[in-house]
């Protein structure tokens, strides 16, 4: 990473850019949470270990990761994981990403989640994201690229569809973050 940023969100959560020494931890987290370091969205494979990322540090330990990519003034969140849920880690990572994306001139942040992930749908919508598109049945295509994608996901719901969420940045934003 050529940019070094750190932002203390509370007395307990520090958000910082990834460092070389985080590589092993990032790989293991991605494999544990997404069955591989490869994340497939919209028919495209992303090696999340090679992407820009922020880590959350809680009490000196790594507690969350957001990976992302910027293309044509749009920022795609490729993965977001919190290891200590419901204490603000996810929000802190997302807030940091929004600041970073704005500073890079991005007009839009977007991501793809799956139909089973009601936690993510709630989390993002409560923070100003809107559903931008529904891609019924496209996980079948994703599985061809990444056979590790399980048939069933959260709450035993069959994983079938991609859902694209987006948030517009800057003066055009109509919904305030929580
Ligand atoms: C979605 C996810 C990233 C959220 O992370 P998180 O660290 O739990 O997020 P937060 O703690 O910021 O917010 C979660 C909830 O905790 C609540 N919360 C935050 N701090 C709190 C505190 N100190 N006390 C009580 N509740 C708190 C928030 O209000 C929020 O509730 P809401 O969503 O109903 O508003 C996490 O559930 C996760 O890793 N999921 C699995 C991977 C995934 O699906 N990623 C997203 C798709 S890419």
pTM of the entire predicted model:
0.91
CA distance 125 to 165: 8
CATH code of residue 138: 3.40.630.30
Q: Tell me the average pLDDT of the chain.
A: 92
CA distance 4 to 82: 21
Q: How far is the CA of 126 from the centre of ligand 1 (A)?
A: 10
pLDDT at 176 over 90: no
CA distance 126 to 73: 24
Predicted local distance difference test score (pLDDT) of residue 174: 44
Q: How far is the CA of 119 from the centre of ligand 1 (A)?
A: 8
Asked if residue 123 belongs to a domain, the reply is yes
Q: Is 121 in the pocket of ligand 1 (CB under 6 A)?
A: no
Predicted local distance difference test score (pLDDT) of residue 132: 98
Q: How far is the CA of 34 from the centre of ligand 1 (A)?
A: 18
Strands 108-114, 74-82: pairing kind: parallel
CB atoms within 10 A of CB 24: 9
Q: How far is the CA of 54 from the centre of ligand 1 (A)?
A: 16
Predicted local distance difference test score (pLDDT) of residue 2: 36
Q: Is 79 in the pocket of ligand 1 (CB under 6 A)?
A: yes
Sign for the pseudo-dihedral over CA of 153, 81, 90, 161: negative
Asked if residue 138 belongs to a domain, the reply is yes
Q: Is 122 in the pocket of ligand 1 (CB under 6 A)?
A: yes
Please name the residue whose Cα sits nearest to atom 29 of ligand 1: 86
Q: Encode pLDDT of 112-139 as tens digits.
A: 999 999 999 999 999 999 999 999 999 9
Query: Residue 122 corresponds to which tokens in the numbers above?
Result: 């709630």
Q: How far is the CA of 144 from the centre of ligand 1 (A)?
A: 31
pLDDT at 23 over 70: yes
Q: Is 87 in the pocket of ligand 1 (CB under 6 A)?
A: yes
Give how many domains the chain has, as a whole number. 1
Asked if residue 91 belongs to a domain, the reply is yes
Sign for the pseudo-dihedral over CA of 42, 47, 50, 54: positive
pLDDT at 98 over 50: yes
Nearest by Cα to 3 from 57, 69, 54? 54
pLDDT at 109 over 80: yes
Asked if residue 177 belongs to a domain, the reply is no
Asked if residue 108 belongs to a domain, the reply is yes
pLDDT at 156 over 60: yes
Mean pLDDT of 147-160: 97
Residue 36's pLDDT band (cuts 50, 70, 90): very high
Asked if residue 178 belongs to a domain, the reply is no
Asked if residue 1 belongs to a domain, the reply is no
Q: How far is the CA of 98 from the centre of ligand 1 (A)?
A: 16
Structural domain range at position 85: 6-172
Q: Is 118 in the pocket of ligand 1 (CB under 6 A)?
A: no
Strands laid side by side in the 108-114 sheet = 6-8, 13-17, 52-58, 61-71, 74-82, 108-114, 162-168, 130-135
Q: Is 32 in the pocket of ligand 1 (CB under 6 A)?
A: no
């Amino acid at each position: 990473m050529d940019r070094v940023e750190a932002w203390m969100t509370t007395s307990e959560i520090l958000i910082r850019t990834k460092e070389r020494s985080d590589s092993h931890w990032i790989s293991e987290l991605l494999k544990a949470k997404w069955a591989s370091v490869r994340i497939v969205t919209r028919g495209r494979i992303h090696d999340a270990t090679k992407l820009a990322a922020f880590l959350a540090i809680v009490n000196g330990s790594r507690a969350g990761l957001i990976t992302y990519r910027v293309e044509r003034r749009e920022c795609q969140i490729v993965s977001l994981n919190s290891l200590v849920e419901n204490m603000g880690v996810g929000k802190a990572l997302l807030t940091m990403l929004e600041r970073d994306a704005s500073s890079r001139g991005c007009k839009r942040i977007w991501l793809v989640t799956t139909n089973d992930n009601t936690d993510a749908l709630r989390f993002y919508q409560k923070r100003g994201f809107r559903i931008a598109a529904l891609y019924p049945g496209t996980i079948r295509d994703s599985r061809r690229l990444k056979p590790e994608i399980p048939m069933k996901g959260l709450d035993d719901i069959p994983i079938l569809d991609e859902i694209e969420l987006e948030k517009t940045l800057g003066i055009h934003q109509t919904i305030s973050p929580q």
